[in-house]
């Protein structure tokens, strides 16, 4: 597998290692989302253990307002964080040149 294919497989595997612990095996409940955010994205999201942070992320991601986050909604979060990281590092490198 290429690096990108491996990254895609890892995102799928990571999502499904948290989904289905409670209820629907294809979605993340608020508790499952909190665990995923804490264990996998904690350094990018501040304090994902904070209830307000989890509530805000859940509300932002749950586009269909069913109280759960499906894989598509999860990928939107990963994509947005990836774009933010890319922008940060691009700006950081530009500042170093000056």
By the 8 A CB rule, do 27 and 58 touch?
Answer: no
Ramachandran region of residue 27, left (φ > 0), alpha (ψ -120 to 50) or beta?
Answer: beta
Q: How many domains does the chain have?
A: 1
Cα–Cα distances (Å) from 39 to 33, 50, 51, 70, 98, in that order, read 10, 13, 15, 18, 37
CATH code of residue 60: 1.10.238.10
User: Rounded to two decimals, what is the model's pTM?
Assistant: 0.79
**pLDDT for position 46:** 65
Residue 8 pLDDT > 70 = yes
Q: For 36-66, write each residue's pLDDT tens digit.
A: 988 988 777 666 667 777 788 888 888 888 8
Q: Domain range spanning residue 11?
A: 3-97
């Amino acid at each position: 597998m290429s690096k990108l294919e491996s990254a895609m497989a890892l995102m799928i595997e990571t999502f499904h290692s948290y989904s289905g612990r409670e209820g629907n095996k294809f979605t993340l409940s608020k508790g499952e989302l909190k665990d995923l955010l804490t264990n996998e994205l904690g350094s990018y999201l501040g304090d994902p253990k904070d209830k307000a942070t989890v509530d805000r992320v859940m509300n932002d991601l749950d586009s269909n307002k069913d109280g759960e986050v499906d894989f598509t909604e999860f990928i939107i979060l990963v994509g947005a964080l990836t774009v933010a990281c890319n922008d940060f590092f691009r700006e950081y490198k530009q500042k170093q040149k000056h």
